[in-house]
Amino acid sequence: MNKKPSTRRHYPAVDWKLCFIADSEAAEGRDMLQLIAEAVEGGATLIQLRGKKWKSREFLEIGIRACRFLRPKKVPLIINDRVDIALACEADGVHLGQIDMPLLYARKILGKHRIIGISVATPDEAEAAEKGGADYLGVGPVFATLSKKDLGPLLGLEGLRTIRRKVKIPILAIGGISAANVADVIPAGADGVAVISAIAAAKYPVQAAIEIIKSIGKLKKG
């Protein structure tokens, strides 16, 4: 009898604690690679590169440079929205919103060796993403944030808990996350947090990342 092919993902293990979303607009002209380097120095365990207004060539060039920097440090690079850029720069995966390329087709292009994350804001979206083969979820907005203009209804901690009960795959909580509220977010069901302005807008990005990691570390010890 022929065995069914395995559907198990074969990407390296990921530490989900702290994802820094390196957003071109939030960076406000600062050198993106320097900002990424500072976030990683402070303890960021995952980087998502987002450039809504970048032209394709600029996005690709920054993606390639980010990959070269992050790979020796074993910090995965996820590309926001752009499956083509993720493939071209040999990133570790892609993160997709609800109006981006459907998960099914992104998986066909990227294969099972790359990570695919999906942004979700409801239990139904979360269950559909998990069923469709997503590797992790970006769940939010949990709290109010100025980093995103088209902000949907806030989930709050209870909304996060509800989604956690519905799925088994890793959850990154996003939306107004900082060192001050990590102590509430992680116990509500998140495996880690994704931040933009908490690091990008900080006067000292390295220290900002350190403080978030410290807050998470205290929870692990408790």
Catalytic residue among 17, 107, 114, 148: 148
DSSP 28-57: TTS-HHHHHHHHHHTT--EEEEE-TT--HH
| Given the residues 17, 50, 114, 164, the one annotated as active site | 50
Our answer to whether residue 8 is catalytic in this structure is no
Is 9 annotated as catalytic?
A: no
* H helix runs in the chain, sequence order: 24-27, 32-41, 56-70, 83-88, 103-110, 123-132, 156-166, 182-185, 197-200, 205-221
| Distance in angstroms (rounded) separating the CA atoms of residues 54 and 95 | 16
Contact at 8 Å (CB) between 43 and 18?
yes
Could you confirm whether 119 is annotated as catalytic?
Answer: yes
Distance CA 176, CA 183 (A): 13
The one catalytic residue in 119, 147, 178, 197 is: 119
- The catalytic residue positions are 50, 119, 148
